[in-house]
């Protein structure tokens, strides 16, 4: 059910939809990620979500990492405080198909590591058992960067 008070169809000539919005599009960003194919891929996703403030969604078979966070230029009244110098992606975004009245429904949405893991168990063949690493080898690993 939509939670917006003013429908797109209610807008009068000259009115801008953003005037009625809490700037939903300025409160996260999303990056495309590789479609997961194996346990390691899902394990990486599980790790992303463990850090909080993010989710993974699938839209038309494309996978995305969504990171929640208000843009530093967002003003208390939901307007852009960097309008003249806002990034290209903000300039090219339009209200035509924006999330003003979408309630965060995606083909798939994963918000917890458990959800990712449960999905992995459903679509992948059983995992092969690995030998335990020693504590020393865990600590000698490099910084936790996933190369995509
Ligand atoms: S583009 Fe859409 S989501 Fe963004 S502020 Fe305007 S109405 Fe809200
Ligand atoms: S620069 Fe302005 S339009 Fe772009 S995300 Fe930040 S507040 Fe929104």
Report in angstroms the alpha-carbon separations of 43 from 37, 63, 95, 140: 11, 15, 36, 20
Cβ-proximal residues to 55 (8 Å cutoff; 6+ apart), any chain: 49, 65, 66, 68, 109, 110, 111
The full set of domain ranges for the chain reads 14-124
Give the ligand whose atoms come closest to the C-alpha of residue 17. Answer: 1
C-alpha 36/C-alpha 129 separation (Å) is 20
Counting ligands in written order, the one closest to the CA of 83 is 2
Q: What is the pLDDT of residue 135?
A: 62
Report yes or no: 112 and 49 within 8 Å, Cβ to Cβ: yes
Would you state the pLDDT for residue 1? Answer: 44
pLDDT of residue 97: 84
Look at residue 43 and give its three-state secondary structure.
helix
Strand 54-59 and strand 28-33: the pairing is unpaired
Q: Which residues contact residue 147 at a Cβ distance below 8 angstroms, ignoring those fewer than 6 apart? A: none
Looking at residue 41, what is its pLDDT? 96
Q: pTM of the prediction?
A: 0.83
For residue 49, the CA-to-ligand 1 centroid distance in Å is 26
Q: Whose CA is nearest to atom 6 of ligand 1?
A: 18
Res 137: pLDDT? 56
Please name the helix (run of DSSP H) or strand (run of DSSP E) that holds residue 65, with its range, or none: strand 62-68
Using CA positions, which residue lies closest to atom 2 of ligand 2? 80
For residue 99, give the ligand 1 atom closest to its CA: 3
Q: pLDDT tens per residue, the chain (148 residues)?
A: 445 678 988 999 899 999 999 999 999 999 999 999 999 999 999 999 999 999 999 999 999 999 999 999 999 999 999 999 999 999 999 998 898 988 778 899 999 999 999 999 999 998 887 766 666 555 556 777 776 6
What token pair was written down for 147?
A: 């190369």
């Amino acid at each position: 059910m939509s939670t917006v008070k003013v429908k797109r169809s209610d807008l009068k000539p000259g009115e801008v939809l953003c005037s009625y919005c809490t700037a939903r599009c300025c409160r996260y960003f999303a990056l495309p990620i590789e479609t997961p194919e194996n346990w390691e891929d899902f394990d990486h996703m599980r790790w992303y979500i463990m850090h909080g403030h993010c989710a993974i969604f699938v839209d038309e078979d494309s996978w995305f990492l969504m990171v929640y966070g208000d843009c530093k230029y967002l003003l208390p009244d939901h307007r852009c405080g960097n309008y003249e110098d806002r990034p290209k992606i903000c300039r090219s975004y339009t209200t035509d198909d924006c999330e003003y009245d979408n309630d965060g429904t995606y083909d798939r949405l994963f918000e917890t590591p458990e959800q990712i893991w449960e999905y992995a168990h459903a679509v992948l063949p059983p995992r092969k058992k690995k030998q335990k690493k020693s504590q020393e080898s865990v600590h000698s690993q490099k910084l936790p960067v996933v190369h995509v």
